[in-house]
């Protein structure tokens, strides 16, 4: 069960195409279900709308919400609407099923770390409004790899990679291998990528490596390092 | 599965006690589960917060959310937080179980209509921040009455009663019997009551009438009437 708010002026600009705004609001939640290797089922939608908003805009937002839900086998079954005076918002809550959910906490020393696609520059390029949640990739991994831990990247690799760290394990990243849309800094510190970051057993690395990008490994030494040097926990912080 | 947004400046004033704001945000959703004679189970919470909001305020909101959840057997299992520049919001999504959910659509000609408590003046009196969701009452009704249709009152009796109307049935209300906190107009047109409005078979009316307030009946003549005269559909409309 996951919920993820999308707020005007924060997650989308007022002039963004409303169908893409709806797509994004649903796809963020689909990405959360993908991160646990789950299958999405049912969603409800809370909308905060200014009374001056044209009906056409709302219909387009809903078209985007439905399109993303349908494409990945989910269904919108209800919701509620309120008026707001300032920024509009869309909160989708999504249910999913997983026989054996993949958690953030399962990484083991020796595991190899991968990402499903290139990182960075998502906001500037518009990728954040049109991205594909990695549900199919997660199902493939669940079937074809010894998948120990997984997370979706929303606040930047340098920040989110820390969610895989536990006492007694650390992470080494190799900058040359991080797939990027523009610069390394953007790949590390920008947010809204919605690619999956995951750890698999070494025995799965060769097979997984033919499809995805290996960017590092799980080690016994605590902390997160890039090319051997401590990586600062920068990235997107809602309350920085 | 229900979700119900609570927005600063709309559902609460900025100076309201944060514990009560949290209580209300959860209790509104509990009321939706009560309206189907369900049992609440799990909730997630989306918060939109200004970065300047003191941590203490947020802790108090969460204390209220947890208190309401716990009191009625539900549990908060996750959520997400975003920053906002303007009005803060709380969106609770709540799951519930019901072996045989009671719907809005089941009223039959001859049924008697009841409410669980006095109506009106909820916003001015502060009742809307401290009300008790009618989960216990709904369970009692499910066991002890032939309960055909139910709804919780959030937008005023005169508006919400229409949700029980279907083609081929109408509703007659008796103004003298409507329990009220202040005036009849307030009982009809104010919102945020969160009492249950329900229809039971005539055979159940005597037993139910010892506990609750009978306010009308379901008839074959279409429309909604008060003391025999058509009742306008006024009440709280978010987009009027």
Partner residue opposite A46 with nearest CB, options B11, B79, B91: B91
Distance from the B141 Cα atom to the nearest Cα atom in chain A, whole angstroms = 25
Structure tokens at B58: 């947020």
pLDDT value at position A239?
A: 66
Partner residue opposite A83 with nearest CB, options B46, B79, B238: B238
Structure ipTM: 0.86
Q: Is there a contact between A78 and B42 if contact means CB atoms under 8 Å apart?
A: no
Q: What are the angstrom distances between the C-alpha of B216 and each of B53, B171, B173, B184?
A: 47, 7, 4, 15
Distance CA A224, CA A230 (A): 6
How many contacts does A have with B, using Cβ atoms within 8 A? 112
Q: What is the DSSP string of B204-227?
A: GHHHHHTTSEEEEEEESS-EEEET
Q: In what order do the strands lie in the sheet with B75-83?
A: B2-7, B89-97, B39-49, B75-83
Higher pLDDT, A209 or A238: A209
Cβ–Cβ < 8 Å for A72, A14: no
pTM for the model stands at 0.91
pLDDT of A238 higher than 70: no
Q: How confident is the model at residue B232 (pLDDT cuts 50, 70, 90)?
A: confident
Q: What is the pLDDT of residues B127-160, one digit of tens each?
A: 999 999 999 999 999 999 999 999 999 999 999 9
> What does chain B come to in residues?
240
Contacts of B154 in chain A (CB under 8 A): none
Chain B: residues touching A (Cβ < 8 Å): 1-5, 7, 9-11, 42, 44-49, 51, 77-87, 89, 91, 93, 95, 238-239
Q: What is the pLDDT of residues A157-208, one digit of tens each?
A: 999 999 999 999 999 999 999 999 999 999 999 999 999 999 999 999 999 9
Distance CA A213, CA A210 (A): 8
The CB density around residue B13, as the number of other CB atoms within 10 Å, is: 11
Partner residue opposite B48 with nearest CB, options A5, A82, A83: A5
- Residues B51-71 have a mean pLDDT of 97
Please give the angle made by the CA atoms of A147, A152 and A154, to the nearest 5 degrees: 160
For tokens 């937008």, what's the residue?
A: B155
Distance from the A209 Cα atom to the nearest Cα atom in chain B, whole angstroms = 32
As separate numbers, helices (DSSP H) first and strands (DSSP E) second, chain A gives 8, 11
Cβ–Cβ < 8 Å for B21, B129: yes
Contacts of B44 in chain A (CB under 8 A): 1-3, 93
Distance from the A73 Cα atom to the nearest Cα atom in chain B, whole angstroms = 18
Distance CA B86, CA A88 (A): 10
> In sequence order, what are the residues at sequence separation of 6 or more whose Cβ sits closer than 8 angstroms to the Cβ of residue A12?
A6, A20, A21, A24, A129
For tokens 């906002």, what's the residue?
A: B84
pLDDT value at position B9?
A: 93
Q: Is there a contact between B91 and A5 if contact means CB atoms under 8 Å apart?
A: yes
Structure tokens at A89: 């918002």
Q: Is there a contact between A11 and B86 if contact means CB atoms under 8 Å apart?
A: no
Contacts of A47 in chain B (CB under 8 A): 5
Partner residue opposite B89 with nearest CB, options A9, A48, A78: A48
Q: Which of A4, A33, A25 is nearest to A135 (CA)?
A: A33
């Amino acid at each position: 069960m996951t919920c993820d708010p999308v707020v005007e002026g924060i997650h989308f600009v007022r002039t963004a195409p409303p169908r893409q705004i709806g797509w994004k609001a649903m796809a963020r939640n689909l990405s959360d279900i993908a991160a646990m290797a789950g299958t999405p089922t049912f969603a409800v939608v809370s909308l905060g709308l200014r009374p001056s908003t044209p009906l056409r805009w709302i219909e387009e937002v809903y078209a985007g919400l439905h399109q993303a839900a349908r494409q990945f086998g989910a269904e919108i079954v209800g919701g509620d609407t309120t008026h707001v005076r300032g920024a509009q918002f869309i909160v989708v809550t999504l249910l999913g099923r997983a026989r054996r959910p993949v958690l953030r906490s399962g990484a083991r020393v020796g595991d190899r770390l991968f990402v499903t696609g290139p990182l960075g520059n998502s906001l500037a390029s518009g990728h954040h409004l049109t991205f594909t949640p990695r549900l199919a990739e997660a199902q493939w991994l669940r079937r074809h790899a010894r998948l120990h831990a997984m997370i979706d990247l929303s606040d930047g690799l340098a920040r989110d990679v820390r969610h895989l760290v536990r006492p007694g394990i650390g992470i080494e990243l190799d900058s040359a291998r991080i797939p990027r849309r523009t610069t390394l800094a953007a790949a590390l510190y920008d947010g809204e990528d919605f690619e999956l970051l995951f750890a698999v057993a070494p025995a799965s690395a060769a097979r997984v490596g033919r499809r995805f990008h290996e960017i590092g490994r799980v080690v016994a030494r605590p902390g997160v390092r890039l090319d051997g040097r401590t990586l600062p926990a920068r990235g997107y912080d809602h309350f920085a």
